[in-house]
Structure 1
Amino acid sequence: MVTRVSRLAIVSAMASVSTRWAGVPVARRKDERREMLVRAAFALFGEQGEAGLTVRAVCREAELHTRYFYENFTGTDELLAAVYDEQAAALGDVLARALDEAGPDPEARTRAGVRNVLRFISEDPRRGRVLFAEARGNEVLAVRRRAAQTGLLDGLIAMGPGPELPVVIAATMFTGAMTELAQQWADGRLGRDLDAVVDQAVELSLALHATTRKRLPG
């Protein structure tokens, strides 16, 4: 038998749900609920990994009914993809601004790129887990990670003097090395001295750049 206290709790909960979206257009309500689910998934995945990402856990974290989950996503894989895409876009914006401020000098651009990737991870370690640390074991993340690497590789080749083999090889090596550097930094295996890591990474990258230029015809 439902007690008076229980009835009041149910009525209160229903009233809270009905007023939560009062005055908000239907399309905007859906967008806001999607944003809440993505934020909740980022928090859970960033702290607990894939094991913590269940429909119930995400909805509990977002304080939403499960029906709102399926209003936006077919399952947790699709939600995880949205989490990755959001963090990747945020990192892309940070890099774009940093490179624009660095100007055309190769050393300045390399330093800005390396520093801002690692700093982006340091500012919120959950980002590193989403973008790098967990990508190897999850196919959804792995596919997106490969696409991101390919995009970076194509961008580096486009900025070079031409699609000659030495340029392509150097760009491929730098892309792989940068991804691994971010992975190791996210895992905490490179210590916490950002300046030291950046300095050494830039020195090695410039050495590769100089060797590549020597191998170009003419």
Structure 2
Amino acid sequence: MATQRGGAATRWAGVPVARRKDERRDMLVQAAFRLFGDEGETALTVRAVCREAGLHTRYFYENFTDTSGLLAAVHDREATALGEALLSALEDAGPQPEPRTRAGVSAVLRFLSADPRRGRILFAEARGNEVLADRRRAAQTDLLDGLLAMTRVPDPSLALVVAATMFTGAMSELARQWAEGRLGDDLDPVVETAVSLALAFHDAAVRAASS
């Protein structure tokens, strides 16, 4: 748990007001990540988050209207971190489809493996919470747009758009199943199987687009 309320005056002494607010917001987001990631949505109350962060409730309302806003911030933080990990992996992989696909799938699943709570926030619980569901849909749309941009085709055919849409949904489901432990705990065969299927799907889409 973070610094207790009694030490608040000492903790923030000499810290600029704007920085104080940013630090308190980050403390609340980290506390919510731990609570939601470990216990689920029912654990995420204003009182519980403030207790976990070691902050007075007034600091919660300094940053958020309600726990939905806080949960959105938690999701956005993890989604940004995942996006950065994915982009880095793809840049290192080069332009060829097979290494890029392998790098992308591996990056997503390794990111979730590094802290299983990420999977609950980004995938496992998203279907039952409207805040998370909205962000999940937006993330899938961004991924779809990114996949289409990677093809470097100015006006992609219907076949390519359909293929990219199906891959985006399949990748999200793969991540959810991995995060929930339904695919075992050996990452390598999961990645290799996913890559083989994705490449076969890609080849079929290319053939359909050229026919």
Residue of structure 2 equivalent to 1:31: 22
Q: 1:23 to 1:163 in 2, by over 3 A?
A: same
Structure 2 CA distance for aligned equivalents of residues 192 and 81 of structure 1: 29
* Aligned-partner SS, 1:61: helix
Structure 1 CA distance for aligned equivalents of residues 11 and 193 of structure 2: 52
Structure 1 CA distance for aligned equivalents of residues 157 and 135 of structure 2: 27
Residue of structure 2 equivalent to 1:9: none
* 1:217 paired to 2:177: no
Structure 2 CA distance for aligned equivalents of residues 216 and 119 of structure 1: 33
Q: Which segment drifts farther, 149-158 or 58-67?
A: 149-158
Structure 1 unaligned runs (5+)? 1-11
Counterpart among 76, 88, 97 of residue 88 in structure 2:
97
Residue of structure 2 equivalent to 1:191: 184
Residue of structure 2 equivalent to 1:82: 73
Counterpart among 125, 138, 161 of residue 147 in structure 1:
138
Residue of structure 2 equivalent to 1:175: 168
Q: Where do 4+ consecutive residues of structure 1 move more than 6 Å?
A: none
Structure 2 CA distance for aligned equivalents of residues 159 and 89 of structure 1: 19
8 Å Cα contact 2:120/2:179 also seen in 1: yes
Structure 1 CA distance for aligned equivalents of residues 162 and 90 of structure 2: 22
Residue of structure 2 equivalent to 1:58: 49
TM-score between the two structures when normalised by the length of structure 2: 0.95
Residue of structure 2 equivalent to 1:203: 196
For these two proteins, the number of residue pairs brought into alignment is: 206
* Aligned-partner SS, 2:50: helix
8 Å Cα contact 2:148/2:156 also seen in 1: yes
Q: Which amino acid aligns with 1:140?
A: V
Identity %: 69
Q: Which amino acid aligns with 2:66?
A: G
Q: Which amino acid aligns with 2:181?
A: G
Structure 1 CA distance for aligned equivalents of residues 35 and 130 of structure 2: 18
TM-superposed deviation, 1:13: 6.2
Q: Deviation per CA, 1:24-67, whole angstroms, max 9, x where unpaired?
A: 00110000000000000000000000000000000000000000
Residue of structure 1 equivalent to 2:102: 111
Q: Which amino acid aligns with 2:39?
A: Q
Q: Deviation per CA, 1:58-81, whole angstroms, max 9, x where unpaired?
A: 000000000000000000000000
Structure 2 CA distance for aligned equivalents of residues 158 and 165 of structure 1: 14
Counterpart among 114, 122, 142 of residue 113 in structure 2:
122
Counterpart among 49, 60, 67 of residue 58 in structure 2:
67
Q: Which amino acid aligns with 1:73?
A: F
TM-superposed deviation, 1:20: 1.2
Give the CA RMSD over aligned residues. Answer: 1.2
* Aligned-partner SS, 1:64: coil
* 1:43 paired to 2:34: yes
